[in-house]
């Protein structure tokens, strides 16, 4: 019985794999029908490489830019102590004499026993509820690979993000000073899967909504966090197509995330919310479907055939149309460009 079930499962598994392969094959076939009609001479049909048909549907994207992270956390049941220009929090009920207090509760809490003197200020929980707000900067470097099936894209990627937070302000008082973190900067690492949909194409521009799901590793400077935290990022990729295989991208997005910091010797978990808004720019590239013509002296400007094999032109840089119509890549005549502009034309 068991043996039969395993065989059944294997059979189902193969069916799923075969279906996916057929789907990829069909998309390639459909794309090949639409795009790059090129120059097809009469005679035996010229075949294109199946592998390259699959490969050309992959997009490689590299972006960077700037982000702003907002921090917010509430400390219900805690009191705030200012002693010698430093801020501490404690959740002991009687705040007098010696108390166990914490510093660096944003990222790496340190527990210590402090003795309160007459100079020290205490803001208790009876009068106000403790909360902090602040912001930090992000410089991301993002690598992504995705596969295009019509207007749908599915992929995965990684973002390395240099992040810094300086000051957080108590939400109830301006007199108490800022909570200065000991965090100079931290390298955040994100790994994610993504999905997207191209909802608008206008001239050479396309617009795709994208969503990412992944994990954030906050780095060594966030030693108070155990493990990684989840994140969701929603954005729009605005893409200017310079050629069939090359695009420049502007990408605004908003990321929702948060993390928990556990106080040592206490077990209390502080929940921090830290959403980030990003503005990124970059480039995106697809591996061309046709190999570049290998003949150095060949001046053909469109897709063409040598010895029964089809090639793309070797005359165009990647940011120009690879299979242009007549005059499409260089619409101005040479005699009207560069230093020729100043010449008299008769
Ligand atoms: Zn050639």
Look up the CATH number of the domain holding residue 113.
2.40.160
Percent of the chain's residues with pLDDT above 90: 45
How many angstroms separate the alpha carbon of residue 343 from the centre of ligand 1? 35
Residue 132 contacts residue 71 (beta carbons within 8 Å)? yes
How many angstroms separate the alpha carbon of residue 41 from the centre of ligand 1? 14
How many angstroms separate the alpha carbon of residue 128 from the centre of ligand 1? 77
DSSP summary character for residue 298: -
- Reported as type and span, the H/E element at residue 189 is strand 186-202
Judge if 115 and 231 occupy the same domain.
Answer: yes
Q: What is the pLDDT of residue 218?
A: 92
Judge if 179 and 255 occupy the same domain.
Answer: yes
Beta strands in 93-185 (DSSP E): 98-103, 110-115, 121-123, 130-149, 152-170, 179-180
Residue 325: pLDDT above 70?
yes
How many angstroms separate the alpha carbon of residue 277 from the centre of ligand 1? 47
CA 224 to chain centroid, in Å, comes to 25
Judge if 139 and 27 occupy the same domain.
Answer: no
Which residues lie below 8 Å from residue 202, measured CB to CB, with a gap of 6+? none
pTM: 0.78
- Provide the domain count of the chain: 2
Q: For residue range 122-140, list pLDDT tens digits in order.
A: 876 666 678 888 999 999 9
Judge if 226 and 307 occupy the same domain.
Answer: no
Residue 237: pLDDT above 70?
yes
Judge if 45 and 176 occupy the same domain.
Answer: no
Q: What is the pLDDT of residue 9?
A: 63
Judge if 35 and 168 occupy the same domain.
Answer: no
Judge if 281 and 299 occupy the same domain.
Answer: no
pLDDT level of residue 326 (50, 70, 90 thresholds) = confident
Judge if 11 and 65 occupy the same domain.
Answer: no
Residue 204: pLDDT above 60?
yes
Residue 8: pLDDT above 80?
no
Among candidate residues 253, 168, 249, 246, the one with its CA nearest the CA of residue 209: 253
* Cα dihedral sign, 282-288-291-294: negative
Give me the phi and psi of 140, to 5 degrees please: -90, 150
Residue 253: pLDDT above 50?
yes
Strands 58-75 and 130-149, how do they pair? antiparallel
| Last residue within a domain, chosen from 271, 286, 301 | 286
How many angstroms separate the alpha carbon of residue 258 from the centre of ligand 1? 55
| Last residue within a domain, chosen from 241, 265, 286 | 286
Higher per-residue pLDDT: 310 or 25: 310
Judge if 308 and 180 occupy the same domain.
Answer: no
- Reported as type and span, the H/E element at residue 181 is none
Judge if 9 and 119 occupy the same domain.
Answer: no
How many angstroms separate the alpha carbon of residue 295 from the centre of ligand 1? 6
Among candidate residues 334, 304, 330, the one with its CA nearest the CA of residue 316: 330
How many angstroms separate the alpha carbon of residue 39 from the centre of ligand 1? 12
Q: What is the pLDDT of residue 332?
A: 79
Rounded Cα–Cα distance for residues 172 and 156 (Å): 42
How many angstroms separate the alpha carbon of residue 104 from the centre of ligand 1? 65
Beta strands in 23-85 (DSSP E): 58-75, 79-83
Radius of gyration of the chain (CA): 30
Q: What is the pLDDT of residue 182?
A: 80
How many angstroms separate the alpha carbon of residue 312 from the centre of ligand 1? 7
Rounded Cα–Cα distance for residues 111 and 103 (Å): 7
Query: Can you tell me whether residue 330 is helix, strand or coil?
Result: coil
CB atoms within 10 A of CB 337: 10
pLDDT level of residue 5 (50, 70, 90 thresholds) = low
CB atoms within 10 A of CB 282: 19
How many angstroms separate the alpha carbon of residue 338 from the centre of ligand 1? 28
Higher per-residue pLDDT: 36 or 283: 283
Q: What is the pLDDT of residue 1?
A: 44
DSSP summary character for residue 49: P
Looking at 84-93, 212-221, 243-252, 253-262, which range is the least confident one?
84-93
Residue 92 contacts residue 100 (beta carbons within 8 Å)? yes
Rounded Cα–Cα distance for residues 145 and 149 (Å): 13
How many angstroms separate the alpha carbon of residue 183 from the centre of ligand 1? 58
Q: What is the pLDDT of residue 121?
A: 81
Judge if 179 and 252 occupy the same domain.
Answer: yes
Helix, strand, coil percent values for the chain (each to nearest 5) = 15, 50, 40
How many angstroms separate the alpha carbon of residue 36 from the centre of ligand 1? 16
Q: Which residues pair with 334 in a beta bridge?
A: none
Where in the sequence is the domain holding 143, given as residue range(s)?
59-286
Judge if 276 and 325 occupy the same domain.
Answer: no
How many angstroms separate the alpha carbon of residue 302 from the centre of ligand 1? 9
How many angstroms separate the alpha carbon of residue 304 from the centre of ligand 1? 6
The neighbourhood of ligand 1, an ion, using CB within 5 A, equals 293, 295, 298, 300
Q: For residue range 15-58, list pLDDT tens digits in order.
A: 777 777 776 666 655 554 444 444 445 555 677 788 998 999 99
Q: What is the pLDDT of residue 249?
A: 97
How many angstroms separate the alpha carbon of residue 301 from the centre of ligand 1? 8
Among candidate residues 137, 140, 135, 144, the one with its CA nearest the CA of residue 280: 140
Rounded Cα–Cα distance for residues 186 and 207 (Å): 32
| Last residue within a domain, chosen from 286, 311, 329 | 286
């Amino acid at each position: 019985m068991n043996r039969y079930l395993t065989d059944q499962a294997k059979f189902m598994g193969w069916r799923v794999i075969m279906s996916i392969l057929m789907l990829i094959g069909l998309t390639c076939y459909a794309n090949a029908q639409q795009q790059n009609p090129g120059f097809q001479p009469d005679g035996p049909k010229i075949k294109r490489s199946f592998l390259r048909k699959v490969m050309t549907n992959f997009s490689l994207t590299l972006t960077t830019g700037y982000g702003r992270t907002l921090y917010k956390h509430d400390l219900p049941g805690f009191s705030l102590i200012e002693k010698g220009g430093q801020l501490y929090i404690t959740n002991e009920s009687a705040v007098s004499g010696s108390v166990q207090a914490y510093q660096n509760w944003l990222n790496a809490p340190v527990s210590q026993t402090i003795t309160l003197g007459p100079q020290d200020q205490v803001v208790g929980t009876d009068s106000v509820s403790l909360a902090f707000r602040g912001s930090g900067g992000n410089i991301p470097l993002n690598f992504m690979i995705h596969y295009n099936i019509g207007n749908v894209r599915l992929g995965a990627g990684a973002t390395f993000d240099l992040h810094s937070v300086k000051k957080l302000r108590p939400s109830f008082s301006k007199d108490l000073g800022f909570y200065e973190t000991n965090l100079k900067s931290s390298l955040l690492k994100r790994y994610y899967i993504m999905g997207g949909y191209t909802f608008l194409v206008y001239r050479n521009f396309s617009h795709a909504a994208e969503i990412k799901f992944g994990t954030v590793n906050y780095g060594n400077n966030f030693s108070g966090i155990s493990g990684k935290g989840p994140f969701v990022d929603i954005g729009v990729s605005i893409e200017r197509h310079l050629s069939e295989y090359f695009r420049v991208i502007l990408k605004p997005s908003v990321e929702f995330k948060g993390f928990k910091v556990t106080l040592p010797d206490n077990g209390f978990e502080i929940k921090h919310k830290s959403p980030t808004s990003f503005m990124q720019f970059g480039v995106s590239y697809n591996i061309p479907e046709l190999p570049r013509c290998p003949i150095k002296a060949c001046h053909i400007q469109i897709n063409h055939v040598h010895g029964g094999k089809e090639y793309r032109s070797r005359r165009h840089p990647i940011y120009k149309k690879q299979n242009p119509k007549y005059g499409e890549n260089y619409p101005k005549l040479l005699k009207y460009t560069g230093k020729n502009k100043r010449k008299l034309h008769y």
